[in-house]
Chains A and B, each alone.
Chain A
Amino acid sequence: MRDFLRSNKREASAFVVLAGLLSLYLWSHPIGPTTYVMTIWANQCLILALAAMAQFFAVIVRGIDLSVGAVMALTNCIASYMVIGSGIEMAFGVVVVIAAGIGCGLLNGLLVVYGRIQPIVATLATASLFVGLALLLRPTPGGQIDYDLADAMTLDVLGMPTALIMTAAIILLIWVPLRRTGLGLGLYAVGSSEQAAFQSGMPVAKIKLASFAMGGFFAGLAGLYFSFVTTTGDAGIGPNFTLNSIAAVVLGGVALRGGIGTLTGAIAGAFILKTIGALMFFSGLPPLAQPFIEGLILAGAIAIGGADILRIKNRLEAFGR
Chain B
Amino acid sequence: MPKSEKAIVRLCGVSKTYGATKALTDVDFACFGGEIHAILGENGAGKSTLMKLVSGVIQPTAGCIEIDGSETQLAGPAAAISRGLICMFQELSLVPDLTVRENLMLGAPGTSLGRLDGNIVARAQDILAKIDGAEIRMKTRVYDLSLAERQQVEIAKALSRNPRLLILDEATSALNASVVQKVFHLIRAERDRGVGVLFISHRFHEIEALADSISIFRNGTHVETFDNGAYDYGAIISKMVGQRIDDLFPPKREPDPNAAEVLSLDGFGWEDTLHDVSIVLRKGQITGLGGLDGQGQGDVLQGLFGLLKGTRGQCIMGGEPVSIRHPKMAKSPALSIALIPEDRKTEGLILDQSIARNLELAALGMNTIDATDPAIYQPFLDALELKCDSLDQPVSQLSGGNQQKVALTKWLALGPRCMLLADPTRGIDVKTKTQIYALLRRLADSGVAILLLSTDYEELIHLCDETHIFYNGRITRQLAGANITAENIIAASLNIPSKEPATRGSVHA
Give the B-binding residues of A (Cβ under 8 A): 3-4, 7, 180-183, 185-186, 188-189, 191-193, 195-203, 206-207, 210, 259-260, 312-316, 320
> Is the CB of B498 closer than 8 A to any CB of chain A?
no
Tell me whether B307 and A316 are in contact (CB under 8 A).
yes
Binds A, one of B111-119, B179-187, B388-396: B111-119
B82-103: which have CB < 8 Å to A? 82, 87, 89, 91-99, 102-103
Pairs across A and B, CB under 8 Å, 19 listed: A180-B115, A181-B114, A182-B106, A183-B114, A192-B95, A192-B98, A193-B95, A198-B76, A199-B91, A199-B93, A203-B78, A259-B95, A313-B308, A314-B308, A315-B306, A315-B326, A316-B302, A316-B307, A316-B347
Give the chain B neighbours of A189 by CB distance below 8 A: 95, 98, 106
Checking B89, B99, B308 against A315 with a beta-carbon cut-off of 8 angstroms, the contacting residue is B308
Closest 10 CB pairs of A and B: A201-B107, A200-B107, A192-B97, A199-B93, A259-B97, A201-B78, A3-B139, A183-B113, A201-B81, A189-B95
CA of A203 to CA of B306 in the docked complex: distance in angstroms?
42
Tell me whether A181 and B95 are in contact (CB under 8 A).
no
> Is the CB of B203 closer than 8 A to any CB of chain A?
no
Q: How far is the CB of A56 from chain B (nearest CB, A)?
A: 15
Residue of B nearest to A2 (CB): B139
CA of A161 to CA of B28 in the docked complex: distance in angstroms?
69
> Is the CB of B141 closer than 8 A to any CB of chain A?
yes
Q: For the side of the interface on B, what is the size category?
A: 35 or more
> Is the CB of B353 closer than 8 A to any CB of chain A?
no
CA of A316 to CA of B94 in the docked complex: distance in angstroms?
21
Residue of A nearest to B94 (CB): A196
> Is the CB of B57 closer than 8 A to any CB of chain A?
yes
Give the chain B neighbours of A4 by CB distance below 8 A: 139
Tell me whether B307 and A314 are in contact (CB under 8 A).
yes
Q: How far is the CB of B17 from chain A (nearest CB, A)?
A: 21
> Is the CB of B137 closer than 8 A to any CB of chain A?
yes
Given contacts A183-B113, A193-B95, contact A314 B77 (CB under 8 A): no
Give the chain B neighbours of A188 by CB distance below 8 A: 95, 97-98, 102
Tell me whether B76 and A201 are in contact (CB under 8 A).
yes
Tell me whether B96 and A193 are in contact (CB under 8 A).
yes
Give the chain B neighbours of A197 by CB distance below 8 A: 95, 106-107
Q: How far is the CB of B343 from chain A (nearest CB, A)?
A: 10
> Is the CB of B503 closer than 8 A to any CB of chain A?
no
Q: How far is the CB of B392 from chain A (nearest CB, A)?
A: 24
Give the chain A neighbours of B96 by CB distance below 8 A: 192-193, 196, 259
Tell me whether B97 and A203 are in contact (CB under 8 A).
no
Could you mark each residue 47-64 of chain B with 1 if its beta carbon is under 8 Å from any beta carbon of chain A, else 0?
Answer: 000000001010000000
CA of A181 to CA of B111 in the docked complex: distance in angstroms?
8
With A199-B87, A202-B106 already in contact, 16 other A-B pairs whose C-beta atoms are closer than 8 Å: A4-B139, A7-B139, A181-B116, A182-B111, A182-B113, A182-B116, A185-B116, A186-B106, A188-B97, A192-B98, A196-B92, A201-B112, A202-B78, A203-B112, A259-B97, A315-B308
Q: How far is the CB of B91 from chain A (nearest CB, A)?
A: 7
Tell me whether B98 and A185 are in contact (CB under 8 A).
yes
> Is the CB of B270 closer than 8 A to any CB of chain A?
yes
Q: How far is the CB of A195 from chain B (nearest CB, A)?
A: 7
Tell me whether A200 and B309 are in contact (CB under 8 A).
no
Give the chain B neighbours of A181 by CB distance below 8 A: 113-116
